[in-house]
Structure 1
Amino acid sequence: MAIILVVEDEIFIRQAAEWAIEDLGHRPLMAEDLAGALAHLSAPGGIDMLFVDIRLGALPLGGYDIANQALQLRPGLRVLYTSGSPLTADMSEQFVGGGQFLQKPYSPEQLEASVGKLLQ
C-alpha cells in the first residue's frame, strides 16, 4: 500500500481520484491547493507519490509549483502529473520526480498502470 497525495482543485475530479486510489489498495491524502499540499508534506509520516493537476488556477505554474516545493520537502518523491490538455514538450520539460503524465479523463485501469509504473 502506497500513500498518495492528490492535489486537484476540482472537487468532483478530486473525489473520483480518491475513490480510484482507494480501490487500488492505496491510501490517498487529499488537497485542493498549495496550502493543503504543504500541510500534508510538512506533517510527519510517509508519502510515496504526488498526483497533481498541472493546471491549478491560483498558482503561476500550477502543479509544477507544487511538485517543485514537494521535492524540496521530500526528496525522492515520485510525481504523477495530470491535465485535461494533451501532453506537450513544453509541459514535460518541467516534470520532476519521475515525471509521468496521465491525461484526463483517465480510466481506473490507466491510473493503476501509471501509479504502478511510478512506484516500481
Structure 2
Amino acid sequence: MATVLGVEDDAFILQNLEWVLEDIGHRTLPASDLAGALVHLLAEQPIDALFVDIRLGSLPFGGYDVADQAIRLRPHLPVLYISGSPLTDEMTARFVPGARFVQKPYSPAQIEAFFTEAPC
C-alpha cells in the first residue's frame, strides 16, 4: 500500500483519483493547490508518490510548480503528471527528472501501472 499525494484543483476529479487509488489499495493525501500540498510534504509522514494535475489554475506553472517544490523537499519522490491535454515536448521539458505522464480520462489500470513500473 502506497501513500499518494494527489494535487488537483477540480474537486470531482480529485475525488475520482481518491476512489481509483483506494480501489487498487492505496491511500490518498488530497490537496487542491500548492499550499495544501506543502502541508502534507512538510509533515512528518511517508509519501510514496506525487500525482499532480499540470493545469492548476492558481499557479503560473501549475502542477510543474508543485512538483518542483515537492522534489526540493523530497528529492526521490516519484511524480506522475496528469492532464486532459495530449503530451507535448513543451510539457515534458518542464517535467522533473524521472517523471511520467497519464492523460485524462485515465483508467485504474493506467494508475496501477505507475506502481508496477516504479517502486514506491
TM-score of the two chains, using structure 2 as the length reference: 0.96
Question: Which residues in structure 2 correspond to 1:1-120 (within 5 Å)?
Answer: 1-119=1-119
Q: Aligned partners of 2:115, 2:64: CA distance in 1, in Å?
A: 18
How many residue pairs end up in the alignment?
A: 120
TM-score of the two chains, using structure 1 as the length reference: 0.96
Identity of aligned residues (%): 61
Q: Aligned partners of 1:109, 1:6: CA distance in 2, in Å?
A: 17
RMSD, aligned CA: 1.1
SS at match of 2:69: helix
Q: Aligned partners of 1:11, 1:115: CA distance in 2, in Å?
A: 24
Q: 1:24-73 deviations in whole A, cap 9, x for unaligned? A: 11111000011000000000011010000000001000000000000111
Q: Aligned partners of 1:3, 1:107: CA distance in 2, in Å?
A: 19
Distance 1:97 1:28, change over 3 A: farther
Task: Kindly provide the amino acid, as one letter, of the partner of residue 61 in structure 2.
Answer: L
